[in-house]
Amino acid sequence: VVVDGGVRPPDREVDDPEAYLDPDAVADSYWHLATQDRSAWTLELDLRPHVEEF
C-alpha cells in the first residue's frame, strides 16, 4: 500500500481535513486488500486525498 499523503491525526483538529487521509478509511482499504478474493488480486494500491491534483 502506497500512502501518498498525510493521515489525519485522530486526536486533534487540523486546518484542512480534506487534505488528509481519514485513518478509518485507510484501515478499511487495507482490510479490503488483506481479505480480497484470490481470483481478483490487487498489484498495488495508492491512497491519496481526493483534493490532490495530478
Model confidence pLDDT, tens digit, residues 7-18: 999 898 999 999
Q: What's the rounded Cα separation, in Å, for the pair 25 and 7?
A: 10
Collapsing DSSP states into helix, strand and coil, what is residue 33?
helix
Q: What's the rounded Cα separation, in Å, for the pair 17 and 28?
A: 18
Q: Is residue 21 part of a domain?
A: yes
Span 4-54, pLDDT tens digits: 999 999 898 999 999 999 999 999 999 999 999 999 999 999 999 999 876
Q: How many domains does the chain have?
A: 1
Q: Is residue 54 part of a domain?
A: no
Q: What is the pLDDT of residue 52?
A: 81
Q: Is residue 53 part of a domain?
A: no
Name the residue range of residue 7's domain: 2-47
Q: Is residue 52 part of a domain?
A: no
Q: What single letter denotes the amino acid at residue 33?
A: L
Cell of 31: 482490510
Q: What's the rounded Cα separation, in Å, for the pair 8 and 5?
A: 9
- What is this structure's pTM? 0.84
